[in-house]
Amino acid sequence: MSDPRPGRHYRLDDPSPDVAERLESARTYLPAQESEPLSDTEAPVTPALDAALAPPRKRRWGLFVVLASTLGLGLVQAMDTLYAAALGGDWLAGAWSLVGILLLGLGGKALVAELWRLRKLRRHARLRARLDEEWMQPEADTSAHDPMALAGALRSQMELSTSHPHWQSFVQAHQPHHSAHETRELVAHHLLHPRDRAARRLVTRMSGETAVMVAISPLTLIDMSLMAWRNIAMLDRIAALYGLQLGYASRLRLFRDVLRNMAFAGASEMATDAGMDLLSMNVAGKLSARAGQGLGAGLLTARLGLRAIAMTRPIAFEPEERPRLADLRREVWHQLRRLEDGSKQE
Amino acid sequence: MARRRALTQEIQNLIDRGRDRQLRLAVTGLSRAGKTAFLTSLVNQLRHAGIDARLDLLKAAREERLLGAQRMSQPDLGIPRFPFDEAVSSLATTPPRWPEPTRGISELRLTLRYRTRRAHGLLGDTATLTLDLIDYPGEWLLDLPLLEHDFLSWSVSQLQQMGPERQRYAREWQEAVARFTPDDIVDESELASLAERYAESLRQAREAGFSHLQPGRFLLPGDLQGAPVLQFFPLPGVKESDRATLDSLPSTSLYQTLARRFRYYQQHVVKPFYREHFRRFDRQIVLVDVLGALNAGAERFEDLSLALSTLMRSFDYGKRSLLNRLFSPRIDRLAIAATKADHVTPDQHANLVTLLEALLAEPIKDLRYADVPVRALSLAAIRATEAREIEEEGRRQPVLRGHGLDDQPLLIYPGDVPRTLPSPDFWQRQGFTFTGFRPPSSDGASALPHIRMDAALEWLLGDKLR
């Protein structure tokens, strides 16, 4: 163990920190000098299980190559036609090829945007993992990382400007001596709580409305498409609250992740909730079959919404502040009851 | 009339305790650990809550539910009030001074007013929490472990626990007392001079940074100055195996006289102090000046560790229920804090906490066994320095800016805090010299700067402010 460094005095008129960076020159060490192997990252605790549960990693390179080459070849051909048309004076063909180029340009732009948003989703997931790793342990050795730098990364990921009031109030609350865990608490309060509240309101409203819609819709087919449409819209808005703009592909991926999460990770939680769900659906079913169906659909939406919040929120919830399905269940039930009462009065 | 008031007060207390609206917080720390600064800062922060105090880690304050606090007249009128105003005014002088060390017991009662989480409830939307605090000289606290001993076992343990350096201070007294045997008849004035020598050795040891010094009243006699009850000392050379012969000595013998005075000291000085002030606590914060102990050296560090672990056995820990909340309160939550965290740079705080946990390893094990949650943290009740950075040899070097105790401006890297206690040869080579700072300039009317007072309050009171 090396000794702790002794104290040192500095003169008060020492230069300010923003001295230009100095470049390090090459250095040679004696071969006999003590050195140790570069430490490699820790393996996960249950590698086999994690690998089995993790989604299979598919890279759709084929699809991507086909799309890109179609765009590229189309572009070349359209240029060629345009050139030939300009030489031959065939103005109509020239105009068509111009339209073609425009179309290909739009397609290419959409493709790039999709890829960009997918990348952003992936970056979001990475940031989440990093925040979890570095901020979750209470008093771990965090001197290596600057908690404020991580908070800044989160801010830019959430697309807040430095003058945003939420960010400003966080900056005011943050002190240089705050540890990573304390910084996390402050970030959660100043940046995330307002968004959590909005997201919760959204899920409540959407699940209630879905329940009512399914309860009154005359056709099963319409039920299904209504639910799918509304759920995807809800997912979109929740993601937007936490600073994620979803494209087509990224939306699909997030939706898939949420569903997978519900199927695997959330199964144990579901077991506790399912009992109550079944009971309330039974009770609702006694009132009317439609109300039972509606309640089931509403609860599914609520569960999906909560799962989506938990997955898109940059910092995982503390156990006691996690929004619960039980609170939402009551509100969905109230919505349906209102419908029931309304129909009785008429 | 006064009696009736006392009774109603008593009943009110009982009702408050039943509703869990009253907390007694034990602020425990040896002398110079920062108890008075902690209490001053606590009152100041809570008074300024919601206005200009930064209590972001206290959930109720962060959610803007804490409305503030008020000092109330304390329940026990026979005890002086905590000298808050004096402490504040000594901080507001130019140059500012730390508050005077405590020389006697004082009490403090605060009521905190806060908005409850659920805005509509049976009891209205604001609630109050009464917080009782006491301040006392840290020296007296060390008398509490004395209650576990009788004179013989105390003598044995005292002489056993003296390390080589402690022995040096006690040598003069030991030479003087070696002339007597337990069955000698010693006259009053001789006894008094022997006791005075013992007290002098304790005082010297305290000057040198030792903390496990008993009896505490020898260091700070208060109103007992010169009374025969303070004229005793541990008797060297006695053994547990001689108990029967020692007990059969005549009552005028040296051993019996000392044993009588020891018993009297236990019964009439320590016990009332314990009964009246230390039995009934709900929460506790143990303040430890880890940096001071590091400065003082390895033997003092061990000494501090021993003092704290014997000390913490004097408190009742355990889970609370309605019944024992009313009739035999126990400490159900505990914070241990390394004070003066502002004297090192923020990157060293984690090490400071680790070292603190190492220092209190034994009591922490007992607390875990009793299933009492403990949290270790580093705090500065009144932050005297400002954390900054300078550029040195191409890398960033965290430094502190503040004023030394002599009012000289300082820009300093105070040194690393070790994660564990360094090996003995390190102390000979280098040792530690953490610099002292004077308090920051304040006008006495604004909130004091601090480090993690809010975290400590959240841990100690947070669950009651819902």
Average of per-residue pLDDT across B322-346: 81
Whether pLDDT at A204 is above 80: yes
Is B433 in Cβ contact with A12 (below 8 Å)? Answer: no
Confidence at residue B38, expressed as pLDDT on a 0 to 100 scale: 93
Helix A289-312 crosses helix A248-263 at what angle (to 10 degrees)?
A: 110
- Is the link from the previous residue into B215 a cis peptide, with omega within 30 of 0? yes
- Distance linking the first and last C-alpha atoms of chain A: 83
Residue B458 has a pLDDT of 93
Co-location of A127 and A160 in the same domain: no
Task: Label residue B296 by pLDDT band (50, 70, 90).
Answer: confident
pLDDT(A47) > 60: no
For the cut 80, the answer to whether the pLDDT of residue B174 exceeds it is: yes
With an 8 Å Cβ cutoff, is A23 touching chain B? Answer: no
Model confidence at B335, pLDDT cuts 50, 70, 90, reads very high
> Which of B391, B432, B451 to probe the A interface (max A CBs under 10 A)?
B391
Residues A171 and A129 in one domain: no
Tell whether A267 and A237 lie within a shared domain.
yes
Residues A184 and A321 in one domain: yes
| pLDDT mean over B233-237 | 86
Give all strands of the β-sheet with B386-392 in edge-to-edge order.
A8-10, B409-413, B395-403, B386-392
Q: What percent of chain B has pLDDT over 70?
A: 94
| Closest residue in A to B408 (Cα–Cα) | A12
The predicted pLDDT at position A21 comes to 46
Q: Which of B350, B401, B426 lies closest to A143 in CB terms?
A: B350
Indicate whether A189 and A87 sit together in one domain: no
The answer to whether B273 and B314 are in contact (CB under 8 A) is: no
A265, part of any domain: yes
Q: Is some CB atom of chain B closer than 8 A to the CB atom of A7?
A: yes
> Which residue's entry shows tokens 């039943």?
B18
How would residue A293 be classed by pLDDT, with cut points 50, 70 and 90? Answer: confident
CB contact under 8 A, B350 and A142: yes
CB B338 within 8 A of CB B393: no
Distance CA A191, CA A170 (A): 7
Of the residues B45, B56, B117, B377, the best mutation for testing chain A's interface (the one with the most A CB atoms within 10 Å of its CB) is B56
Position A19 pLDDT exceeds 50: no
Q: Which of A5, A12, A14 sits opposite B415 (nearest CB)?
A: A5
pTM over 0.95: no
pLDDT value, residue A344: 64
* Whether A186 and A81 share a structural domain: no
Q: What is the mean pLDDT of chain A?
A: 79
Choose the final residue of a domain: A103, A135, A167: A135
Tell me the chain A residues in contact with residue B63 when contact means C-beta distances shorter than 8 Å: 189
Across the interface, whether the CB atoms of A3 and B452 are under 8 A apart is answered: no
Q: What residues of chain B lie within 8 A of the CB of A142, using their CB?
A: 350
Region A203-213 average pLDDT:
87
Chain A residues lying within 8 Å of B434, measured CB to CB:
7
Q: Is the pLDDT of residue A290 over 80?
A: no
Contacts of B349 in chain A (CB under 8 A): 177, 179
- Please name which of B371, B364, B254, B267 lies closest in space to residue B309, comparing C-alpha atoms: B364
CA A20 remoteness from chain centre: 38
> How confident is the model over B199-209, as pLDDT tens digits?
989 888 888 88
Q: Which of A4, A186, A189 sits opposite B416 (nearest CB)?
A: A4
**Res B50 pLDDT > 90:** no
Q: Which of B122, B115, B125 is nearest to B61 (CA)?
A: B115
**DSSP string computed for B81-99:** BP-HHHHHHHHSSSS--PP
The answer, yes or no, to whether ipTM is higher than 0.95 is no
Q: Please give the domain boundaries of chain B with CATH numbers for all domains.
A: 2-141+281-384+442-464 (3.40.50), 144-274 (no CATH)
Which chain A residue's Cα is nearest to B455? A182
Q: How confident is the model at residue B121 (pLDDT cuts 50, 70, 90)?
A: very low
Which residue range forms the structural domain that includes residue A93? Answer: 61-135
Q: Is the pLDDT of residue B123 over 60?
A: no
Out of A21-35, B126-140, B450-464, the most confident range is B450-464
In sequence order, what are the residues at sequence separation of 6 or more whose Cβ sits closer than 8 angstroms to the Cβ of residue A50? A44
Query: Least CB-CB distance to A6: which of B350, B353, B415?
Result: B415
The reply to whether A34 falls in a domain is no
In a domain, A35, yes or no: no
| d(CA A165, nearest CA chain B) in Å | 15
Residues A212, A304 share a domain: yes
Same domain, A106 and A169: no
Nearest to B426 among A3, A141, A174 (CB): A3
Chain-chain contact of A8 with B412 (C-beta, under 8 angstroms): yes
Tell me the two tokens of residue A128. Answer: 């989440």
Q: Are residues A119 and A159 in the same domain?
A: no
Percent share of chain B, pLDDT over 90: 14
Classify residue A158: in a domain, yes or no.
Answer: yes
Does residue A12 belong to any structural domain of this protein? no
Residue B15: which pLDDT band, with cuts at 50, 70 and 90? confident
Q: Tell me the pLDDT tens digit for each residue of B175-196.
A: 888 888 888 888 888 888 888 8
At B408-435, the pLDDT tens digits run 888 888 888 888 888 888 888 877 888 8
Quick one: A170 and A196 in the same domain?
yes
A168 touches chain B (CB under 8 A): no
Beta strand B283-288 with B333-338: parallel, antiparallel or unpaired? Answer: parallel
| Domain annotation covers residue A52 | no
Same domain for A174 and A220, yes or no, is yes
Domain count, chain A: 2
Give, rounded to a whole angstrom, the gap between the first and last alpha carbons of chain B.
37
Residues on B contacting A at a C-beta cutoff of 8 Å: 54, 56-57, 62-63, 341, 346-350, 353, 376, 387, 389-391, 394, 396, 399, 401, 409-418, 422, 426, 429-430, 432-435, 451-452, 455
Q: Which residues from chain A sit within 8 angstroms of residue B396, using beta carbons?
A: 17
Is pLDDT above 80 for B268? yes
The runs of H, that is alpha helices, within B113-187 are: 138-141, 151-160, 164-177
Give the angle subtended at the CA of B262 by the CAs of B258 and B268, to the nearest 5°.
140
Q: Which residues of B282-315 are buried (b: 16+ CB within 10 A; e: fewer)?
A: bbbbbbbbbbbbbbbbbbbbbbbbbbbbbbbebb
User: For residue range A120-174, what is the model confidence (pLDDT) as tens digits?
Assistant: 888 888 888 888 777 765 544 444 567 788 888 888 888 888 899 999 999 988 8
pLDDT of residue A222: 80
CB contact under 8 A, B347 and A15: no
pLDDT range class, residue A346, cuts 50, 70, 90 = low
Which residue's structure tokens are 């007294």?
B173
A17 in any annotated domain: no
Check B416 against A5: CB less than 8 A apart.
Answer: yes
Q: What's the rounded Cα separation, in Å, for the pair B78 and B254?
A: 37
In this structure, the answer to whether residues A219 and A334 fall within a common structural domain is: yes
Identify the band that residue A257 occupies on the pLDDT scale cut at 50, 70 and 90.
confident
With respect to residue A200, please indicate whether it lies within any of the assigned structural domains. yes
